[in-house]
A and B are shown apart, each in its own frame.
Chain A
Amino acid sequence: MSTFDLLVNGKQHRVDSWDPEQPLLYALRNDLRLHGAKFGCGEGQCGSCTVLIDERPVRACQVSVAAAAGKRITTIEGLGSSEQPHPVQAAFIAEQAAQCGYCTNGMVMSTVALLRATPRPSLEEAKTALQGNLCRCGSHDRVLRAVQRAAGNTTGRS
């Protein structure tokens, strides 16, 4: 059993893992009880488990606890709450940009990362940034509107 120091949402946590290759996702969900990041494929193909590591969007199913130790990890819970949502979360709420909401974590986290790098993305830039995030319900149009709203761009519904 090894111990790893994880800096998550500004707080230090000590996590034990029998396997240093355990993906960060399981440590977040089960040890830290942060359920926002979701298991979708375990293969880095869908984006449901996206978290930020040192401000960059990362698939938490593809990075080990050992590799994540010592880095700055932000999960969706660290952005804001229902009562005090982060501007990106507020935009998703305002646009009602979810159906089942299982992929929403990845959409929100990828959008936060996009807007940090590109504060005023075009529609095409938003699509490119979200290309690796799958949604099965077909909420894409709303998610794109939420990105534009969060960026302060005017959104219009046809």
Chain B
Amino acid sequence: MNARLSPQSPSRRGFLQGAALVVGFSFTGLSGARAQAIVGVSTHTLDLAELDAFLAIRKDGSVVVYSGKVDLGTGHRIAMRQMVAEELSMTADGVRRIELIEGDTALTPNQGPTAGSTGVMRGGVQLRQAAATAREALLALAAAKLQRPAAELTLEAGLIGAASGGPKVSIAELAGDRPFNVKLNPKAPLKDPQRYSIVGRSLPRPDIPAKATGRHVFVHDFTLPDMLHGRVLRPAAVGAKLIEVDAASIKHIPGARVIRIENFLGVVAEDEWAAVRAARELKARWSPGTGLVGHAGVVDWARRGPFVRDEVLLSRGNTAGLAAPGGSPRALRATYSWPVQSHASMGPSCAVADVQAERATIWSASQATHRYQPALARVLDLPRDKVRVIYLDGAGCYGMNGHDDAAADAALLAKAAGRPVRVQWMRADELGWDPKGPPQLIELRATLDENKRIAAWESEMWVPLATANLAHVPLLGPADAGIAQPAGQSVGLISQNAGPSTPVANVKVIAHWLADAPLRPSNIRAPGKVANCFAVESFIDQLAATAKMDPFEFRLRDLTDPRGVEVLKRCAALIGWTPGASRATTQIGAKARGRGIAYIHYKHNESYVAVAMQVEVERASGAIRVLQIACAHDCGLMINPDAVRNQVEGNLLQTLSRTLYERTTFDTQRVTSADWASYPILRFGEVPELRIDLIQRLDQPPLGAGEAASTPVPAALANAVFDATGARLFEAPFAPETVRAAMQKVS
């Protein structure tokens, strides 16, 4: 197995072989001969209306699946296979023989970016429908061949025949290495979930053996013959212009070359270490930056604007009077804020580009190879269809990190150098320059009626506006190189779940849309909803406390959706919740213990999640220790429960990290939290006990598991701290000094 067997010929055939090899490696390490067999079925359509865009049968009866959505370390590789195999009535062993090609603009249909927890929910469901269509088409072909009505035939383990006996025909014979030439049938009947034998099982992921033995080919590991190593010198400050470069300052480094395109500055070298040292030692003079608000100024900035517009997102009943200060003792208001955060990927972003005169191939860990294909084509001044972007695994990204920027960097350097270039960012590039999760500010107001129910509720948000129909996030390299890009910003669906989490008759949700963001933003896991759920579910907890009710019972009383009720009850049971008022006043001693709970119906129409925590707060320091996290989770049909569990564990622990530790700091010029010391994340010593209850719903559509469970984490934690100490936390991260200050307010 050697990733260097990759394409050198600019011909289409060469490219296809390269892709097949690469994809093969990342699955089971296919032999070259077998991988080349993929080439035979790769001249198919990419038209989403055609079955052939998604699926092909090989002559040996194995199945090739073309997925526009990719596995970001999330288990899609096994889940997609299971969904297809189930509809084709394959054996569990057959699942392993499915070849899955992902995120290749030349080979896979454009199913949209792998984002928003839509991989299985949309992408997998599309593949499942393709498999059902294939099953229908195969049965029709068999009916003609066997001279029997299709209704009498069944497909099982690659063979079609009548249940009553008689001759059988294999799917390889019917469709091996031949296109179906059939439209995708959105009504092709799906298998009855009660008869599932593949879906719903925790089959092991195909990529983990190679990952655990160091053989998995990440984009970081991919190399081309004659390849140079590149590094990019990002400006000394955000928006700084390059005044002067002293190329002589690196002449002691063998083979190192400076590449400058206006304000874009990079180095290339034969040797990676030479490129690293050249980037470190190259002397360049930059103008001052265009000026940042600084992390301490973010909340003021959010209140001040400039704003694009105000928008009423939801208005029901009458909330007049809520905005007025003072009033009823049953009226409550609070303001919550969430900081700028980095995706903080473990591996700095990387890409490899091979740019020829007429065409280019770029290997990238992009979540959206199809979306960035035209962007990269513009960077290279090539027609879109002459640029091929191929997905290879990166380090987990959880939204758009630096991978797409790195792809543009590699393209720029490769074009200038006239040779293939591999670019890997350094640690400071990634934490300093990945597009950031934007800051959020949210004010909540509510009143309770005489029965202690929520009578009226208003949410008011100050958040960056996502530019409508933005083709893609503007990339750093092209911006510095003076290449035109669409102007605007992306933040994801940031305003969802900002209203009350339980039914309330009188509600208003308002957004003050900010024109920009303190640092270039992009979507970060569960965009907006981590902060919104933090605010909303903390506020529900405050309302419960005002009503002198147990916060679990307060929610349970008002929640009407039975699936919501079930996750809430199961979560409380997991953590051994015993109803009662806050214990803050009854505890003495150096450490106080508490428990908190929070709930979300993700995006109001997707997964249901409840999270509860047991925590301990050290009074003197304000340090929080999380002892236990419980999570009850309903994402509808689970294709692979262990893959879901893996995602849920990740959501809980990553968001615990974001809540306890993470804030990108920056001054007026640049990000100042650009290493793991200044941008700390969760370590093993702080990992709490996890208790997870996954609800399998065979009769429901599959929903996303990649984001939802992250959202109740901050509120569950804040509510537990309140239970322990009586102190309410309004801003993340919950650093000891923040907790200490909140405790001082109480006493």
Contact = CB atoms under 8 A, between A and B. Distances in A.
A154 interface: no
Contact of B684 (A23, A42, A108, A133): A133
A45 interface: yes
Contacts of B271: 18, 26, 30
Given A30-B272, A82-B29, A104 B215 contact: no
A96 B204 contact: yes
B114 to A, nearest CB: 13
A115 interface: no
Given A35-B218, A102-B345, A105-B214, 19 more contacts: A17-B273, A23-B273, A29-B221, A38-B347, A40-B348, A41-B676, A80-B213, A82-B28, A92-B212, A99-B646, A102-B347, A104-B211, A131-B684, A136-B346, A138-B652, A139-B650, A140-B653, A140-B687, A142-B649
A130 B337 CA distance: 33
A54 interface: no
Given A26-B272, A35-B221, A100-B394, A89 B646 contact: no
B685 interface: yes
23 contacts: A19-B277, A36-B213, A37-B214, A40-B348, A41-B675, A46-B346, A92-B208, A99-B396, A99-B646, A100-B72, A100-B73, A101-B393, A104-B211, A108-B214, A130-B684, A134-B681, A134-B683, A135-B346, A136-B654, A138-B650, A141-B653, A142-B649, A158-B692
A127 interface: yes
Given A40-B427, A134-B346, A82 B215 contact: yes
Contacts, number: 193
A158 to B, nearest CB: 5
Contact of B687 (A30, A34, A141): A141
A52 interface: no
A148 interface: no
B381 interface: no
B681 A136 contact: yes
Contacts of A43: 427, 675-676
A18 B274 contact: yes
B691 A127 contact: no
B633 interface: no
B209 A93 contact: yes
A40 B273 contact: no
A98 B395 contact: no
Nearest to A84: B213
Given A41-B676, A140-B653, A128 B393 contact: no
A26 B273 contact: yes
Range of interface residues on chain A? 35 or more
B310 interface: no
A45 to B, nearest CB: 4
Interface in B556-606: none
Interface in A27-60: 29-30, 33-43, 45-46, 48
Contacts of A141: 649, 653, 687, 690
Contacts of A80: 213
A153 interface: no
Please list the 10 inter-chain residue pairs (A to B) with the smallest Cβ-Cβ separation, ordered nearest first: A36-B214, A100-B73, A101-B211, A138-B653, A100-B396, A138-B650, A76-B214, A102-B395, A35-B221, A82-B209
A22 to B, nearest CB: 4
B347 A158 contact: no
Contacts of B682: 138, 140
Interface in A75-92: 75-77, 79-82, 85, 89, 92
B675 A140 contact: no
Contacts of B254: 18
A111 B545 CA distance: 46
Interface centre among B2, B427, B647 (most CB of A within 10 A): B427
A45 B683 contact: no
Nearest to A146: B212
A39 B347 contact: yes
A77 B214 contact: yes
Contacts of A143: 684
Interface string B617-657: 00000000000000000000000001100110111111001
Contacts of A36: 213-215
B217 interface: yes
Nearest to B280: A42
A136 B395 contact: yes
A73 interface: no
B720 to A, nearest CB: 19
Contact of A138 (B211, B217, B651): B651
A30 B650 CA distance: 32
A158 B396 contact: no
B229 to A, nearest CB: 8
A34 B218 CA distance: 12
A99 B74 contact: yes
B427 A41 contact: yes
Given A45-B677, A100-B393, A136 B213 contact: no
Nearest to B676: A45
B212 A93 contact: yes
Contacts of B396: 99-100, 102, 136-137
